[in-house]
Structures are given as C-alpha cells and as structure tokens.
Structure 1
Amino acid sequence: MSGSIHFVNGEISGIGSSLFCRSLIEYLKKSTDLDLTIIDLEPICVIGKTYASQYYSQTSEALISEKSIFDDDLELEIPTIKLSSGAVGIEQGDLIYELAYQGKTVIVNLPSRSYESVHNWLQLADIVELSKQTKVQIWQWFTTNGSADSMDILSKLYQIYAHSFNYVIIKNEGDYPRIQNSWFSWKNNIELQAYIETFPTYQLMMPSLSLPDYRWDILSQNCLSFTTAKSHGHSAVTILEKQKIHTWLNTMFNQLSSIPFNQFDDLSEFSAFDDDDLFSDDTDDDFDENELSFLF
C-alpha cells in the first residue's frame, strides 16, 4: 500500500507552521499506527532533531558512511535532502517520493519562501501525475494568519494543483491580533472561498500558545517534544507552562482527530468541512501534574 507526503508550511516567516508541525507529528505518533518519516528542510532542523534525532543528530556524511551498497534503508539518506534554488527544487528529493511509495507517511517541514523550490521539484518529473498512478497522496498543510499575502499564496496553490492535493488550512488564531480584521477579509475573499468549497479542504483553528521566548529556546536547544516537556517531573517548564502546553495539545488533537488520514482515496467523493464544526471545546479541565505523562 502506498503512503503519503505531507508538506507543512505557511510561506510567511513566523506564521506558526513549525508550531503546528509539532502538533501534527505528536498526534500521529500517539493516535495512529502510520509508519512516520520526518524530513525537516528548515536550516537548523529543530523539528528533525526533536522528532527524528536518529537522522538529524549526526552529520549526513556519518550516516551515509553507515550505509552499504546492499542496504535498502533509504532513511539513512534523509539528512542529504535539501532545498535548492535551482531547477531541481529539492536536492535528493526523490527520496521523499520513494519513501512514500514504500508505504510511509512522510512529513516534510518546510521553511518560509519554499513554494518555488517545492513546485520545481514536483514539476521536474511530473510527480503530481505519478502520484495518481501510484496512489501516493499529497497533502498540503498550510498555516495562515488571514493576511492578504497569505491568501494570495494559498489561492495560487489551488490554481496550480486543484484536485491533486488534499488541503488542510490551519488558521493561526494566535496571530489574529496582529492582523486587523484578518478573518473578515478571509471570509469575504470570494475567489479563495470558492476554491475552498470546490477542492478537498479541511480547516483547523490553531489557538495561541503563549510561552516566554527563552522557554522556546530551551525547548529547541534541548530537542524537547511538547509531550516530554509537559510530563511529570520535567524541569524545563513551569507547572503553569505545562498546563498551557497540555491544553493547547488537547485542543489540536481534538481537531486533528477529524482528519481522515487513511480514508481520503477518492477525491471525487469529497464534501467540504466547515472549521466551525471542528472547533469544539472538549478540553479536559482537570489538571494533575502526576498524570501528565500519561495524558497523551
């Protein structure tokens, strides 16, 4: 059975796509039996070092040196996958598709301004058409703040790829105060709303997760997942910060549980989701630090 490729991005720097990527990976690890492969194309690879340390804790040269000509473990070559500004788009990008073709769920964390590189790679060997033949699903997880630039980029994705992708839009609620009337503009963008209704699209709301900047630095430098950081006895975060992370993850997990990761084979049967139906408040309000390590 073929797997899937999940591009996680937002194109705009600081929009929250890496934050969302954490929730996606942690949800899939906890709640599904999908065979995950994490590929991080960010320059410093925080997501890769946190969730796929077996590939990102060593240099690519060290990993390749472990591989023999008889070794078919393509994952050893994951650190060699890089974005390129040239026509190739993604160096060693063929590994992404091959891993998905082998049945893996490949999560690709993308940096800002990576649209052109990904597009070049997809076009180089007509990967979109190949995905239809080999039944490799391609998902676009797009984080947005509702700004005009963000809406323009998303509209362009719809125009180019149409029914070829499964789209999930993550509306960053935490970024809303900085964008005046952002969701009003979003709802009144007739062209974009038509695309959302026409093509296979799900919408999620991502709430704010307020932690001090130095705390984010601690999480990144120590390669801590949210599940680990909020666990009982871990000293990297305070008790209140553990509660914030717990509540945020719970909210994201509730929404992600509505996404049919394994049941989206025939796009012709698609019916659009309304994000208002997804965003229900099922958060467990009872908090006991002694139980944190067992919650997820």
Structure 2
Amino acid sequence: MSTRMIGGDNNKPDIVDDDLDDEVDASRAPLLDHLNELRSRLIKVIIGMMVAFGVALFFSDQIFNILAKPYMDAQGDDGNRRMIFTALTEGFFVNLKVALYGAFIVTFPLIALQIWKFVAPGLYRNEKRAFLPFLVATPVLFACGAALAYFLVIPWAWKFLLGFEQPGGAGAIEIAAEAKVSEYLSLVMQMIFGFGLAFLLPVALTLMGKAGIVSAQGLRERRRYMVVATFLVAAFLTPPDPISQIALGIPMLLLYELSIILIASTERKRAAEEAKSDSAAD
C-alpha cells in the first residue's frame, strides 16, 4: 500500500492512501459505464416511440375506428351511428392519445428487449434461463388479455349499456346514447389495459415465488381472499354489468391457480437441487 504526505492544518502532514483513491476511481468507472449504457438504451426506446407515434398519428382515424367498431356493431344497422365531441380541441387531443396508446403497444417489445439487454449481463446463466420465459410470456399474456377485452367483453358490455336507450312515442320520452369520443377512448383503453395487466398475474406471482416472497401453500391458504379481491378489481376495471365482471374474474382466478402450480413446481425443483447438493456434500 502506498501513501503520500500532504500539508494539513497547523503544519501537520496528512497521510493520503493512494490505494483507496484507486478503489474509488475503479468503482466510479463501472457506474459511469452503466449510466452510459442506460442512456443509450433509453435513447433507442425514445426514438422507437417517436417513430411509432408519428406512424400511429398518421393512422389515428383508422385506429380509432377499429376501437369504435364494437360500439358501432352494438348500435345496429339503423344508419345513425355516431359520436360527438363538445370541445373544439377534443378531437385533436383524442388523436394524440390514440397515437400515444398505439406507440406504447407497438414499442412494448422494444422496451422489454432493452430492459433485458441492460439487466442480462449482470445475471448468471441459470438466472437468464429462469427469467427469459417470463420476458417472452409478458407480451403474450398481455395480448391475450387485451384480445379477450376487445373481442368478447367490450361487445357484451356495450350491448348491455346501450340497452338503456328508450324509443319515444306513446307518452315515453326518447332516450338515445350520444357517446363522447374522449370518454369512449378512455373507457375502452381502460378495459384493454386493465385486462392486459390482469393477465400478467402469473408472471408477477411466479417471480415473487422464485424470490421467496410468496409460496404455493401461502397462496392456497389465501385463495378465499383472492376470490373477493378478484371481483373487486373486476368491478373497478369493467363497466357495471355482471357479464364483464365475470369475464374478467374467472380468467384471473384461473391464472391464480396456474400461478400456484408454477410456484409449486419451482419449489419442488429447488428442494430436489438442495437435496442433491446435501447428498453430494455428505
């Protein structure tokens, strides 16, 4: 270890450890490398988002028409299918929101890939093999949840809600739905993202199981609470009709049971590896 003398207070020399300075500089260098890599990956994500946003903004009308198709189908073929906006800027901001949603969905695989490339060098080979299936399963499960919402739940919900319309005549006042474009977009995207995130339940629970935060037995014991929590979440994410709530609640319960099976399988493999290592040590 090398030292050097420098002048201090009251003409007393201070001893400076050169090796300590070298260690501080060495620890600072990897941190700067990680920050530079993080910046480069964020730049790639931002560029991808900007390109996707521009393309989605160009096709924002077509994208909104796709999102509005369940509403048009639920109204039937009376030829009076329309939506309204009540503020001059509402239509413009709806197009921006549509483009932003579309850009996020399109670039989600890019975001996941950049996160994986940033984290993967710090993982061991067995950790990479363990986490890679979850990285692949995340967009697949999210897409399944979003597809269930768009193709099944939303058409049912719109038919139920439009059933409260009332034709006029014979002493009855006419009640007709006049959906606002901004409110419709917020509702439909809430359902699509809500179903997509709900379908990520097995990924979250299984990762928590691998980390030792939860166990299969603990999840089995809390099954009754999960049933109540599931339908509370379904009531929050879906319109107030029982069909939509059941359509979200049942898949979430099935995915919860799938999480228990996956965690139990992981625990069995871990126990077998520990028993093997103990026998080898003996």
* TM band (smaller chain): under 0.3
Higher relative contact order (CA 8 A, sep 6+): 1
More strand by share: 1
- Per residue, is there more helix in 1 or in 2? 2
Larger Rg: 2
Name the TM-score, length of structure 2 as normaliser.
Answer: 0.26
TM-score normalized by the length of structure 1: 0.25
